[in-house]
Amino acid sequence: MFSQQANQIFDEVIQKYHVIDDVNQSFTNPYPENQLPHLLYRKCWIDTVQWHFEDLIRDPNIDSAEALKLKRKIDASNQDRTDFVEFIDSYFLKKYASVVPHQNSTINTETPAWAIDRLSILALKIYHMREEANRAEATEAHRIACQKKLDILLLQHADLSAAIDQLLKDIESGKKHMKLYKQMKMYNDENLNPVLYKKSNS
């Protein structure tokens, strides 16, 4: 099953990141380029680093200049995240290009890669919620509350994994078909963000 492979890679990434646990650590991808595991590994690494960016920027004592730098990094990370989602969807489009959809085939509310995006984020939620459920210095009430949340996340993880596998099976069999709509984000584009293009023309 695809989800088993993806979940294994996501867990590998998260464990690898937390050995050093530093947003500035170097990145190496152990999987060959132009293959799906390579894309999945890179995608989850982006998500993992951004998770910790989001923690850092919520420090109430953060210096305003550092916060601005961090916000720029988060914006760039969001763009990278979107790009890799589209790379993964392109992989699936190519893989299933020869499939002839059934006459009454339907389209899903999201592409496989956007569902995979949610699976990667869910893996991070599970990792960090498990940390909280086992945090020795926390109160017992805190640990119990986090364990209840963890149980729900684990159920959600199983359901989402099964749903992704079913979606890919349906696309492969022609019951569903997929389309790739580029996200066309505007805020990073100097030709589309009015704050940027008005400034460049002034």
pLDDT over 80 at 182, yes or no: no
Residue pLDDT, tens place only, 29-38:
999 998 999 9
Predicted model pTM: 0.91
Q: Output the 3-class SS for 110-177.
A: CCHHHHHHHHHHHHHHHHHHHHHHCCCCCCHHHHHHHHHHHHHHHHHHHHHHHHHHHHHHHHHHCCEE
pLDDT over 70 at 149, yes or no: yes
Contact 115, 167 (CB under 8 A): yes
| Backbone torsion region of residue 31, taken as left when φ is above 0, otherwise alpha when ψ lies between -120 and 50, otherwise beta | beta
Instruction: Grade residue 43 by pLDDT with cuts at 50, 70 and 90.
Output: very high
Please, which contacts does 162-171 make with residues 24 or more away whose CB atoms are closer than 8 Å?
A: 162/3, 163/115, 164/2, 164/3, 164/6, 164/112, 164/115, 164/116, 164/119, 165/1, 165/2, 165/3, 167/108, 167/112, 167/115, 168/2, 168/92, 168/112, 171/92, 171/96, 171/99, 171/112
Residue pLDDT, tens place only, 81-117:
999 999 999 999 999 999 999 999 999 999 999 999 9
DSSP 94: H
- Please enumerate in sequence order all residues whose Cβ is within 8 A of that of 67, keeping only pairs 6 or more positions apart, or say none: 57
C-alpha distances in Å from residue 41, one per residue of 28, 46, 61, 94, 182 = 10, 9, 33, 20, 21
pLDDT at 44: 98
In one letter, which amino acid is 65? Answer: A
Give the CA dihedral 22, 23, 27, 32, nearest 10 degrees.
110
